[in-house]
Amino acid sequence: MQTKEKIRKFLISDLLQDNDISAISDDDSLIDSGIIDSHGIMTLIAYLEKEFKIKIGPEHLLPENFESLMAISNLVNNLLTDKGK
């Protein structure tokens, strides 16, 4: 399963109770649409670090890194690439 799909599955199963992410494209704003808030971002970070065995440092805690499913996936993939070097 690709990174983006793992993240989508987590968002649906663990963070969304009343929201439907299936209608959201990869580039739609998760923050502006209210799908994810600051608490949700912290929960997501814990998941990403455990699932992908990466460290998301303070320098990565920028709104643009968590704005959309694509942005989150890009962040994870970049950290995985840096880890492999």
The predicted structure's pLDDT at residue 23: 66
Q: Which residues, 6+ apart, have CB-to-CB distance to 61 below 8 Å?
A: none
Res 34 pLDDT > 90: no
Q: Which two tokens stand for residue 67?
A: 């704005």
Q: What is the pLDDT of residues 52-75, one digit of tens each?
A: 999 999 999 999 999 999 999 999
Could you tell me the domains of the chain?
3-16+25-78 (1.10.1200.10)
Q: What letter does residue 36 receive in the DSSP assignment?
A: -
Mean pLDDT of the chain: 88
Confidence tier at 84 by pLDDT (50, 70, 90): low
Q: 54-74 in b/e burial notation, b at 16+ Cβ within 10 A?
A: bebeeeeeeeebbbbbebbbe
